Chains A and B, each alone.
Chain A
């Protein structure tokens, strides 16, 4: 196994749950989730040798994952494939979150996210993963001040859709 594969394996093990959350927040159709996950894995594998440690590895990998997800959504939205949020319940999801009520709450959050525009979904996804304003600014290529403005608007929008459900 080459060095690139070793670095990839260790990074993938560490961040696969976060990547799975990115996949699920952008894509509702299981077959396409698999494709998106594969796209992200390949992009991470290709990019890891270029990681320059200017940011944390988590920020770097999440930026790649969100960027791949945006390209994926752009591609499939154009091709007319539905990304229905109706299917976003935890059906078939063997997550450790077994408690029904917790599962329901998570479903509402995920479903709420899916109803928001891509830009808001992305900034919320990064913030929900615990990235700082600086890290989000780097991932999006915008200023820290703009992160504050955008994130506040996105949080309000999320609150509104979640409470309406």
Chain B
């Protein structure tokens, strides 16, 4: 390339240059496995929960514990279903840029929905936990006589509250990203005008 820019010379320059980058890490199978493992973990969690629920129902635990466990199981099934449902279209890899930008928009929209879902889901969970604790407080007060009983309910509620706040922040971040990607797609499509 001389002081004046010449396209053909630039093409030669470009193609003759072989930059060196560090060797790639040979962990393709591990990365692929990790992607699947994250969702498999949901299923495993559920599988562990169900026999445990069966055990609780067979035991002589009080009705309040059985009710609490039933609700937990239903919410866990709903949670896993939504985890798969919201990610159902995100597995394919787009083949061109237009598809990629549309895919990124889909992904950010899924993120917003996941954030929204998490807020509602955890909110319901928190309300149920508190209602359950209040009802047990009045009906089976001896349950709260244990050293850590009240503490565990308070800790559970605080963890859920923090998770709800984190989900709200996540949703907001995803909404911001969605706007940015939509703008990028708009710019990409406008380049022909």
A162 touches B5 (CB 8 A): yes
Task: Check: A89 CB closer than 8 A to any chain B CB.
Answer: no
- Name the B residues within 8 Å of A118 (CB-CB): 184
- Name the B residues within 8 Å of A158 (CB-CB): 5, 10
Give Cα A149–Cα B191 distance, bound, in whole angstroms.
Answer: 9
Q: Kindly identify which residue among A66, A94, A97 contacts B16, using a CB–CB cutoff of 8 Å.
A: A97
Task: Check: A87 CB closer than 8 A to any chain B CB.
Answer: no
B5 touches A95 (CB 8 A): no
Task: Check: A93 CB closer than 8 A to any chain B CB.
Answer: yes
Known: A66-B97, A141-B97. A21 touches B24 (CB 8 A): no
Instruction: Give per-residue flags for A70-91: 1 if the beta carbon is below 8 A from chain B beta carbons, else 0.
Output: 1100100010000000000000
Q: Kindly identify which residue among B13, B22, B93, B101 contacts A109, using a CB–CB cutoff of 8 Å.
A: B13
Task: Check: A115 CB closer than 8 A to any chain B CB.
Answer: no
A128 touches B10 (CB 8 A): yes
A109 touches B10 (CB 8 A): yes
- Name the B residues within 8 Å of A34 (CB-CB): 21-22
Give Cα A149–Cα B19 distance, bound, in whole angstroms.
Answer: 30
B191 touches A150 (CB 8 A): yes
Q: Kindly identify which residue among A70, A102, A130 contacts B15, using a CB–CB cutoff of 8 Å.
A: A130
- Name the B residues within 8 Å of A78 (CB-CB): 176-177, 180
A33 touches B21 (CB 8 A): yes
Known: A38-B24, A46-B32. A162 touches B1 (CB 8 A): yes
Output the nearest chain A residue to B93 by Cβ-Cβ distance: A47
Instruction: Give per-residue flags for B150-193: 1 if the beta carbon is below 8 A from chain A beta carbons, else 0.
Output: 00000000000000000000000000110011001001100110
Report B1-60 residues with CB < 8 Å from chain A CB.
Answer: 1, 3-5, 7, 10-11, 13-22, 24-25, 28, 31-32
Task: Check: A8 CB closer than 8 A to any chain B CB.
Answer: yes
Known: A74-B184, A130-B11, A155-B7. A109 touches B19 (CB 8 A): no
Task: Check: B104 CB closer than 8 A to any chain A CB.
Answer: yes
Task: Check: A146 CB closer than 8 A to any chain B CB.
Answer: yes
Nearest-Cβ distance from residue B95 to partner chain A, whole angstroms = 6
Q: List 7 A-B contacts (CB under 8 A).
A: A21-B14, A43-B93, A45-B28, A109-B14, A140-B98, A141-B97, A163-B5
A12 touches B24 (CB 8 A): yes
Interface residues in chain B, defined as those with a beta carbon under 8 Å from any beta carbon in chain A? 1, 3-5, 7, 10-11, 13-22, 24-25, 28, 31-32, 93-101, 104, 176-177, 180-181, 184, 187-188, 191-192
Known: A105-B1, A150-B191, A158-B5. A96 touches B97 (CB 8 A): no
Other than the given A95-B20, A163-B5, 19 more pairs (CB < 8 A) read A12-B24, A23-B21, A42-B32, A46-B32, A64-B93, A70-B100, A71-B104, A74-B181, A74-B184, A97-B16, A102-B13, A105-B1, A129-B15, A130-B15, A138-B96, A146-B191, A150-B191, A162-B5, A162-B10
Give Cα A37–Cα B21 distance, bound, in whole angstroms.
Answer: 8
- Name the B residues within 8 Å of A162 (CB-CB): 1, 5, 10
Task: Check: A114 CB closer than 8 A to any chain B CB.
Answer: no
B21 touches A141 (CB 8 A): no
- Name the B residues within 8 Å of A128 (CB-CB): 10-11, 14-15
